[in-house]
Structure 1
Amino acid sequence: MNDAQPTGEGADKAAEPARGKSRAAGASRINPKSPSDALRPERAPGPPPRSQQARHPIVMIMNFAMTIIVVSVLGAAGLFFFGKMRFEERSHFDQPRTVLIDRGTGLRDIAEILHERGLISSKWIFVAGVEFSRERDNLKAGEYLIPAHASMRDIMNALVSGKGIVYSISIPEGLTSEQIVDKLNADPVLIGTIETVPPEGTLLPDTYRYTRGDSRQGIIDRMEREHDRVVATVWAGRDKDLPVQSPEELVTLASIVEKETGIADERSRVAAVFINRLKQNMRLQSDPTVIYGVYGGAGLPQGAAIKRSDLDAENDYNTYKIAGLPKGPIANPGRASLAAAANPSRTKDLYFVADGTGGHAFAENYQDHRKNVARYRALMADQKAGADAADGDAAPAGTGPGDQEADPTDAAPQPPANGGGAKKPKAGTQQD
């Protein structure tokens, strides 16, 4: 086969493209760099041009919004951890302090009070902490003792618990309702007034605990509820042979026992004396009933003594004049006297008189009672003579305890057939 080769002008035209390619290849060839040029860094290529989509207004707005959200979240997280740290850190005060939160005080006002008392460093952090803890509606009014270095969280927890400072008031057994009201009115922590003096014998003497802001009427209401509860229990467990017909009569008897003795182990025996007298239709002849009949709930004036005119007074409480129990209670008896009246000792005693040592001497008959009375008066006379000798000046007649003129209840005791008395000297009857 013959290979035809272009000749002449055709050959020149065919060779032209080859020479162009050769020149282009030569032009694109990079000349070798000098050693100094080789050490120089080459310029980095520029960023690619932004796409039309990235420059769209909606995309730009969304990017801005995301930036704001991220910054806000980071800022909120920072504020949260800062506030939480402040809310839980120990406070600077080094002594316990009290704070009073009145009923109806709102969260912001509570924060203001705490801040003014120096208990919290920031009222806004306290408000935010309470709100975040969802305890706004659980904060309770009261007077609180805040321990030293308590944190804001500790203070919040104290207000939520409601365990404020607890006060107490003790009502002695044997006070009249009027005297109890006077005692409550004199208490500086309780608030409010007592509208009416409760009926005699409807309150239970005891120690009652309360917090600042509690009312005097509230204490009275509690005393009445406790009285009803205790009387119902005692009445249900009473001796079935008692000569009393109702819980009210039991309270009346217990009030006499309460006023006659303050010694615990004597109550049931004193109660037995009056029970035995009721069973034998004897007059009770109790000095405390005479006092109540004349002086009422105010009691015997300080330093005064029972007079013959008091014993002769005609009223529904003078058990020297009336048979059986008086019209109603003469005081508010306590649990022990109620229990003693419901279950008295099983004795035959009909009399008792003070023995000079704080207790009483009991007797089953009038003759033994007169001996006990004589023994007591001799003891009192010896004590009076010793006191006069020590003072160098005799006391006026009729002022010593157990003196016949000063204590006419023992001046002419009557035998059982005539309604003889279960008596003790005035020094032992006055418990006001």
Structure 2
Amino acid sequence: MSRIIHIVVRTVCVFWGMALLCALLGLGAVIYFNAPPSLQPPSGSHEALTIEPEGKVILEVRNGESAASVGRRLLEAGIIRSHYFWDLLFYIDKRYIKAGTYQLTLPVSQLEIRAILVAGRQILKRVTIPEGVTLKKMARILANEGICDEAGFLAAAANREILNHYRILGDTMEGYLYPDTYLFSPGYPPELVAKAMADTFFKRLAEIQHDLPDLSPEELHKRVILASIVEREYRLDEEAPIMAGVFYNRLNIGMALQSCATVEYVITEIQGKPHPEVLYTRDTEIRDPYNTYIRPGLPPGPISAPGMVALNAVFNPLSSDYLYFRLIDPAVGRHYFSKTLDDHIKAGTLYVKGPSL
């Protein structure tokens, strides 16, 4: 009997000893494969992955990319020891990684990388879109900040499906992308950038116009066009509602808007010339649908991105008998408002608002 007990005890000890050995070996394997390679990989560019000299890694996880694909790229760049351990982690825990752009600091373990990608802790860059910029200048700002491709953003802003979603009548989203400070990750899809800015536009506009859903796309488009003009004309906040009232007065009597800002738009955005500091008669006679000196009514579309002041001015204009205004103090930005052409002419040389970028 004692012999049997001895055999059983020895068997149990051997079993637990083997189990402990296997556990230790497994733990050792986890520690080894989870740890970063002993040698830090050299700096350089790989597939959607860049290793900077100071050990910073910029990793892009593309839309629809699998965890296995990311693991393969990490292995090829020398950031992880084994893609088998990487695949095992995602086999055990089925949570998905999130698309985006991430920053890692070497050395970094596989568990740390996985936690970052699963949580979606992306790099976010702060980018400011100034009031009064055009769609092209907006695209240039985003491209310079590395947010999205310039051509891709312009294509997204002209995407008919997106335009229809927001009930925008124009050929582009010019005027409907709110100028503000945004946080985007580098390489963010241009369609999502445009949608985020349009969502902000309609959210801010709803703060001014509470019955916005009842406004027809045609009426909204007219007001956005006018707000984009006011944005490029006013300098002092308190003058914006007066200017809006002047433009409404002109529209009501069939008078040309005679906006210097629309002439500037023709010169800079359509003709591609430098921004003029002074407008001359030859400029106001340029033959173009956007030139409101020779074409009565509103131009075909918005000429800039209106901010809150301009939008509020158009939706809440100040009633007056004024039909004219002219910049009389460029340093302060003060305008002279008048009821007659004679008073307007006496105000002096035509000036335009400075370059928006």
Normalising by the residue count of structure 2, what TM-score does the alignment of the two structures yield? 0.68
Shift in alpha-carbon separation, 1:144–1:344, aligned structure 2, 3 A: same
Q: Is the 8 A contact 2:264 2:275 kept in 1?
A: no
**Which of 112, 122, 125 is equivalent to 1:154?**
112
Query: Aligned pair in 2 of structure 1 residues 152, 338: CA closer, same or farther (>3 Å)?
Result: same
Partner amino acid, structure 1, of 2:309:
A
Q: Residue 318 and residue 141 in structure 1: after superposition, are their counterparts in 2 closer, same or farther (change >3 A)?
A: closer
Match of 2:186 in 1: 212
Count of aligned pairs:
318
The answer to whether 1:74 aligns with 2:48 is: no
Is the contact between residue 147 and residue 184 of structure 2 (CA under 8 Å) also seen in structure 1? no
Distance 1:98 1:312, change over 3 A: same
Give the drift of 1:337. Answer: 1.5
1:320 aligns with 2:279: no
Q: Using the alignment, how far apart are the partners of 2:289 and 2:60 within structure 1? A: 50
Over the matched positions of the two proteins, sequence identity in percent amounts to 27
Letter of the structure 2 residue corresponding to residue 354 of structure 1: I
Correspondent of 1:308 among 276, 281, 303: 281
Task: Tell me the alpha carbon deviations over residues 141-184 of structure 1, each in whole angstroms, 9 at most, x when there is no partner.
Answer: 43322356655433321111111111243333223334434544
Mapped contact 2:322–2:338 kept (Cα < 8 A): yes
- 1:96 and 1:121 map into 2 onto residues whose CA distance is 17
Task: Determine if contact 2:98/2:118 at 8 Å carries over to the other structure.
Answer: yes
Shift of 1:261: 2.6
- The structure-2 alpha-carbon separation of the partners of 1:179 and 1:73, relative to structure 1 and needing over 3 Å to count, comes to same
1:253 CA displacement:
0.9
Paired position in structure 1 for 2:45: none
Q: Hey, what does 1:30 align to over in structure 2?
A: none
Deviation (angstroms), 1:296:
7.8
Matched, 1:180 2:138: yes
CA contact 2:34–2:85 (8 Å) conserved in 1: no
- C-alpha distance 221-108 of structure 1, shift in aligned 2 (>3 A): closer
Deviations 1:64-84 (A, max 9, x none): 997885454223321344356
Q: Who is 2:331 aligned against?
A: 357
Change (3 A) 1:101 1:70: farther
Distance across 2 between alignment mates of 1:101 and 1:178:
26
Matched, 1:98 2:64: no
Quick one: structure 1 residues 145 and 370, their matched pair in 2 at CA, closer, same or farther if it must change by over 3 Å? same
Look up the match of 1:384: none
Distance 1:288 1:353 in 2: 12
Q: Which residue pairs with 1:139 in the alignment?
A: 97
- Confirm or deny: 8 A CA contact 1:96 1:145 kept in the other structure: no
* Separation in structure 1 between the aligned mates of residue 106 and residue 333 of structure 2, nearest angstrom: 51
Find the counterpart in structure 2 of residue 267 from structure 1: 240
Structure 1 Cα separation of the partners of residues 327 and 147 of structure 2: 42
- Is the Cα–Cα contact under 8 Å of residues 284 and 325 in structure 1 kept in the other structure? yes
CA contact 1:203–1:223 (8 Å) conserved in 2: yes
Question: How does 1:206-355 map onto structure 2 within 5 Å?
Answer: 206-231=180-205, 234-236=208-210, 246-279=219-252, 282-292=255-265, 294-295=266-267, 297-298=269-270, 301-302=273-274, 304=276, 306-346=279-319, 348-350=321-323, 351-355=325-329
Residue type matched to 1:246 in 2?
A: E
Structure-2 separation of matches of 1:160 and 1:173: 36
The one of 163, 178, 187 aligned to 2:121: 163
* In structure 1, C-alpha distance between the alignment counterparts of 2:236 and 2:298, rounded to whole Å: 22
CA shift in 2, pair 1:105/1:322, >3 Å: closer
Amino acid at match of 1:236: H
Pairwise CA distance, 1:339 = 1.6
Determine the C-alpha separation between the residues in 2 that align with 1:118 and 1:265.
60
CA contact (8 A) 1:252 1:326 kept: yes
Is the 1:235–1:247 contact (alpha carbons within 8 Å) kept by the matching residues of 2? Answer: no
In 2, the alpha carbon distance for the partners of 1:101 and 1:64 equals: 55
Q: Quick check: 1:260–1:429 contact (8 Å CA) kept in 2?
A: no
Counterpart in the other structure of 2:167: none
Over 3 Å counting, the alpha-carbon distance change for 1:255 and 1:108 in structure 2 is closer
Contact 1:178 1:298 in 2 (8 A): no
Residue 165 of structure 2 corresponds to: none
2: distance between equivalents of 1:249 and 1:281?
Answer: 15
Taking the aligned partners of 2:136 and 2:96, their CA distance within structure 1 comes to: 39
Cα distance change of structure 1 residues 84 and 66 upon mapping to structure 2, 3 Å threshold: same
Query: What residue ranges of structure 2 are gaps of 5+ in the alignment?
Result: 41-53, 159-171, 213-217
Structure 1: 5+ residue stretches without partners: 1-46, 55-59, 239-244, 375-401, 403-409, 411-424
Taking the aligned partners of 2:138 and 2:58, their CA distance within structure 1 comes to 30
Letter aligned with residue 294 of structure 2? K
Task: Give the superposition deviation at 1:211.
Answer: 1.9
> Secondary structure of 2:101's partner?
strand
Q: CA RMSD in A?
A: 4.3
Query: C-alpha separation between the residues in 1 aligned to 2:280 and 2:140?
Result: 26
Structure possessing the higher radius of gyration over alpha carbons: 1
